[in-house]
Structure formats: C-alpha cells, structure tokens
Amino acid sequence: MSTRAQIAIQIGPEEWAHVYCHYDGYPSHMLTALAPWAPEDIHAAREIRQVRADEIEAFATPRDPVILPRPTCQSCHLYVWQDGTWSELDPETHAPEGSVQ
C-alpha cells in the first residue's frame, strides 16, 4: 500500500503548485528524503513516484502539478518549504508539524 503525499511549492503570490508523490509519503521518510532537494527540483519533477535523498523518481509521463491559491492537503500528508527547510503542515491548522534542516 502507498502513502501518498503532496508537496506544495509557492510559485506566485497566491499560487502554489501541488506536486503529487505516490510512495513513502509518511513524515519519517519524506522530511529526510526532501532535505537535500530545493523546491525547484521538486517542481521540475512535476509528478513523483518516490523521493529519496539521492534521487527523485518521477513518472515517465508526469502530469502537471495542480495550482491552488494556498497549500491544500488532498492526500495523506502535505509538505512545504518554509524558512529554508521542508515541513509537514497540519491539514487542519496549516501550522508546521515537524521539520528537518
């Protein structure tokens, strides 16, 4: 079974690209796996099968990210780039749940 996640990347004042991640979206994996990657790297992948610290495995024919006015959780977990690090946002409060530097 897959733990799906979204990675929201701010691309404009009220524009957030939501990149889908299919596997291993749980925080204990994703926060460590995302740590070496910049938001631009994630956004360039467009649609991700799995993120690891050494590789972003994108789908062969990726779909474009969904663009929304704010980070919005539509999967199990939502991650954003804040203050130079990746954080998981609580879907209810939009406050960071944890981060790795």
Sign of CA dihedral 13, 14, 15, 16: positive
Nearest to 5 by CA among 87, 61, 99, 100: 87
pLDDT of amino acid 101? 39
Tell me the two tokens of residue 96: 């960071």
Taking a C-beta distance cutoff of 8 angstroms, is the pair 32, 82 a contact?
Answer: no
pLDDT digits (tens, 9 = 90+) for 39-66: 999 999 999 999 999 999 999 999 999 9
Burial letters 23-40, b for 16+ CB under 10 A, else e:
bbbebebbbebbeebebe
pLDDT digits (tens, 9 = 90+) for 22-45: 999 999 999 999 999 999 999 999
CA distance 54 to 61: 21
CA distance 57 to 67: 21
CA distance 67 to 36: 24
